[in-house]
Amino acid sequence: MTQALGYCLAEITVHDAHAYQDYLAKSAPAVAAAGGRFLVHGGSPEVIEGDRRLTRVALLEFPSVEQAQDFYQGTAYQEAIALRQRAASCHYTILTGNDPENMSTHQPGFNKGYVFAEVHPTDLEKYMEYPKLSTPIVQQYGGTFIVRGGAPSIVEGDRKPGRIVITEYDSPQRARAFYYSPAYQEALKWRLRYSRSHLYLLTGTQDGALAQHVGETAMVSPR
């Protein structure tokens, strides 16, 4: 039986851009050594819903949740965390991927688009109608649910976790087209009525080879 993929999600606010480069230089080899790859390597997320103001978001993928946990807890990345904490604040979550049977369209690549949503239902029974409304629209735009609910493991930060959903699209433009489509805007009304949400549009790595083998460092210019 194919096991679910594991994901690490880092929501970061950088306070010292120069010192943050030390963290990137230390963390990239740790990601590669643990068998991970960057789906999103940083850059400013486009915050569409909610009031979070983040400098960077990084989304890492691992062959399993156990490997994602081992990466985070490993000595190499713990040393990198010490550097990051001098330069930034971070909310860090380890996530279980969607059922592999529902991820047949998820393929390694780059220049992809991602929609991240963290949802706190205010009326769970009525909210559960929303996935029935939104799923066909996600599929219409070629989206794949790579994370869909489940119990997030928060390893840094003190926010109360919500229901996390991450969908992947062939491009950032396709992700945007999905969100702003008339069909989804209708479904969105239901979600907003019965939940509180934070939602970002994220741009995937711009070079797949660099993302997998070198990591974030090669793609970040000093500010």
Residue 57 in domain? yes
- Checking if the pLDDT of 163 tops 60, the result is yes
What CATH number has the domain bearing residue 28?
3.30.70.100
Burial 169-190 (b: 16+ CB within 10 A, else e): bbebeebbebbeeeebeebbeb
Query: pLDDT (tens digit, 9 = 90+) per residue, 98-139?
Result: 988 878 778 767 889 999 999 999 999 999 999 999 999 999
- Is pLDDT larger for residue 12 or for residue 107? 12
Look at residue 1 and tell me if it is in a domain: no
Per-residue pLDDT, 43: 72
**Structurally, how many domains does the chain consist of?**
1
Residue 218 has pLDDT above 60, yes or no: no
**pLDDT tier, 67 (very low <50, low <70, confident <90, very high otherwise):** very high
Q: Is the dihedral of CA 89, 94, 100, 102 positive or negative?
A: negative
**Domain contains 113:** yes
Mean residue pLDDT across the chain:
89
Q: Cβ–Cβ contacts within 10 Å for residue 134, how many?
A: 22
55 — pLDDT class (breaks 50, 70, 90): confident
Token reading at 158:
């003190």
- 176 occurs within a structural domain: yes
- Give the per-residue pLDDT at 117: 96
Contact 98, 164 (CB under 8 A): no
Answer yes or no: is 87 within a domain.
yes
Which domain does 101 fall in, by range?
Answer: 6-219
Please say whether the beta carbons of 1 and 64 come within 8 A.
no
